[in-house]
Structure 1
């Protein structure tokens, strides 16, 4: 990737910008994000208590995770390249009077060049499957975190089951997500993400899966990483 190219798909940015005004409606297309956020937050906190920590949220969108981490006492910077979503995040922070959260329209690669080794933790959730070069994002996240700091990822596995559950089921049958939210070929196998992490100097410490029951409409964490999964990694 050259200095002048940005690791983002314009169609992906347009898609999320189009829905930006609905980001904080828990019954909207973003309902799944609202539902899984407490699970993600608790999982992050189990590895690193957030109070007093400086945290970067990469691909923060409308700020659902950024906001909740700030409310746990972290000093949070959320970054994204979807300008409308960032405006929604900033407006929500103002309206909700969320302390210690700021937002910037900047790529993770550009910020890594600007502020290497500046954060106690970096979160990059539900974002890697939307960029052209996920390895570049993983390397930038690693550069941004302090030695011994944590980098948390969540994404979607690539296999027949994930195609059925994450695309056919979630987008077409259950209408949990807008159609076209995900592209199967951009899904990332855990082995691929682990390789990106190793190359970037990150040690994989913990893996967790996330499951959904359409009858109870409930999400929970488990050992099953066949569809949605999370990585907790630590910088050497």
Structure 2
């Protein structure tokens, strides 16, 4: 169910019914609810899509380099520690697919990546609007789905045949930890460089857009309450 569409449709219907039946309280409630829901729906759309002439839109695509850097740091600082590399080297076989990073990825704390995304949104033109709905705390419900999807995305990247073959060949030709880590860093960076702004947008969109629909719902709810307040104050 599309929460944004349903919220806007209900609010618009309320406006029509309230106006047609001369129910001022319903008209005020629905009009303000439509205003709040529609504004938030447009804001969510502009978070992912760049709109010509509107500064600060398409922030996810504009900040895709920062997002890639966050993933890169997460992989290198938490996966490829000396302890983990020692384990890989001691267990490696001739099969490139023996290097299964999925268990490590599953146990990795993805909070830094989510925090980076929240900071990006907070520092964008949407930061002021976000503060109207509880600030960054309003994004907390997105953390779980975001981290789960990010883990799956990283697992897919590291599970590719190309990544596995390169990792195997590079590890097999090195014995020094620093040298190995440097080569792994190069492989990871090469894979991340294949990401385009649109791919990053789709990745983030898949993680959180459905949950951002609640911003539209709550925009309608709070807008409606403000509308009722305006009606009673005007009596």
Q: Same fold (TM over 0.5)?
A: no
* Higher RCO (Cα < 8 Å, 6 or more apart): 2
Q: Which has the larger helix fraction?
A: 2
**What TM-score, normalized by structure 2, do the two folds share?**
0.22
Of structures 1 and 2, the larger Rg is shown by 2
TM normalised by structure 1 equals 0.22
